[in-house]
């Protein structure tokens, strides 16, 4: 049962052709790691699924509903902004740079969208936020401001904030790349716990061990398209694709 399906996505930034016919799908409950060299279009693909970027060509479906459909000329045609926002609210996103709201305390970060978008009352939103803070191990930071937290703590708050909207699909764009090495583990652990809950997850990452451990499927992107997809073992352990081998060697050396 495909909950995310993107077909022949093309994306240009000005003249730069970044996605060149990327096909991507995710089944409900599946955990997919997306790997590939820098500039191959991993972030762009993720951001298209979440409507943070607009596709030029191709179609995107979330749980069977088209948010973008190819028209007769092959251009992507989108639903209205309001409708897209509604469908995309089923996706949560975690950014490399956290993007917490600095003027709001930790608990307020978690309550903002549930109250303003989902229409929860303050008390219900607060209760929910407390539960989520417990889940990411930050109950004692509820009244801190993001600027007072370590990077790892900020990213855990960001994960809890996304979960507060009850997403069915979580997108992670290199959630640990901005972190000091000693803080990576705590964030990966939170993501692993989520994986145990049957959440659909699409994770762009350079953490190969983590990808191998957590993923149902690994997708290799290169030069704007998906060049290989398979089990973690097929892609990460015994890849027969020379580009993957070259990529993995580079990562190991780095």
Partner 1 sequence: MDIDYLSDTIAYIAMGAGVTLKVFFVTLIFSIPLGIICALGKLNRAKALRGIPGALLRGILGGYTWIFRGTPLLLQLFFTYYGLGILSGGRIAFSPEMAAYLTFVFNYAAYFTEIFRGGIQSIGKGQYEAAKALGMNPWLTMKRIILPQAVKIILPPLGNESINLIKDTALCSVITVTEILRNANRVMSRDFNISALVIAAAIYLLMTFVVIQVFRRLEKRYAYYNIR
Ligand X SMILES: Nc1ncnc2c1ncn2[C@@H]1O[C@H](COP(=O)(O)OP(=O)(O)OP(=O)(O)O)[C@@H](O)[C@H]1O
Q: Which residues bind partner 1 (CB under 8 A)?
A: 50-52, 81-82, 85-86, 88-89, 91-93, 95, 97, 99-103, 112-113, 116-118, 145-147, 158, 161-162, 165
Taking the complex as a whole, the smallest distance from the CB of residue 102 to partner 1 amounts, in Å, to 5
| Burial (Cβ within 10 Å: 0-12, 13-18, ≥19) of residue 156 | buried
Give the contacts of 210 (CB within 8 A, at least 6 positions apart): 33, 188, 191
Nearest-5° Cα angle at 46, 43 to 51: 115
Q: Residue 89 binds which entry of ligand X, Mg ion, partner 1, none, with Cβ cut-offs from 5 to 8 Å by kind?
A: partner 1
Closest contact distance (angstroms) between CB of 113 and partner 1 is: 4
Rounded-to-integer distance, Cα 152 and Cα 178, Å: 9
Measured from the CB atom, is 133 or 191 closer to ligand X?
Answer: 191
Contact present, 91 and 173 (Cβ < 8 Å) = no
Q: Which neighbouring-strand residues pair with 24?
A: 6
Q: Does 44 bind ligand X (CB under 6 A)?
A: yes
Q: Is 205 in the site for Mg ion (CB under 5 A)?
A: no
**Which one of Mg ion, ligand X, partner 1, none is in contact with 152 (Cβ closer than 5 to 8 A by kind)?**
none
The DSSP symbol for 245 reads: H
Residues within the interface to Mg ion (CB under 5 A): 43
Residues within the interface to ligand X (CB under 6 A): 13, 16, 18, 36, 38-44
């Amino acid at each position: 049962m495909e909950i995310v399906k993107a077909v022949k996505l093309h994306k240009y930034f000005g003249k730069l052709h970044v996605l060149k016919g990327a096909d991507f799908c995710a089944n409900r409950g599946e955990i997919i790691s997306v790997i590939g060299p820098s500039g191959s279009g991993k972030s762009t693909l993720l951001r298209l699924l979440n409507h943070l970027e607009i596709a030029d060509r191709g179609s995107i479906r979330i749980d069977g509903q088209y948010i973008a459909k190819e028209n007769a000329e092959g251009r992507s045609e989108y639903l209205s902004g309001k409708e897209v926002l509604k469908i995309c609210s089923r996706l949560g996103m975690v950014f490399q740079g956290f993007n917490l709201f600095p003027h709001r305390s930790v608990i307020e970060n978690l309550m903002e969208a549930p109250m303003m978008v989902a229409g929860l009352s303050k008390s219900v939103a607060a209760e929910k936020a407390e539960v989520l803070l417990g889940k990411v191990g930050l109950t004692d930071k509820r009244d801190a401001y993001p600027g007072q937290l370590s990077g790892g703590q900020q990213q855990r708050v960001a994960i809890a904030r996304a979960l507060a909207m009850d997403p069915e699909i979580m997108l992670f764009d290199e959630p640990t790349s901005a972190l000091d090495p000693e803080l990576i583990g705590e964030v990966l652990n939170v993501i692993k716990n989520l994986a145990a809950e049957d959440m659909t997850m699409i994770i762009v990452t350079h953490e190969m061990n983590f990808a191998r451990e957590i993923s149902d499927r690994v997708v290799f992107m290169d030069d704007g398209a998906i060049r290989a997809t398979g089990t973690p073992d097929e892609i990460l352990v015994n890849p027969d694709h020379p580009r993957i081998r070259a990529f993995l060697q580079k990562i190991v050396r780095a």
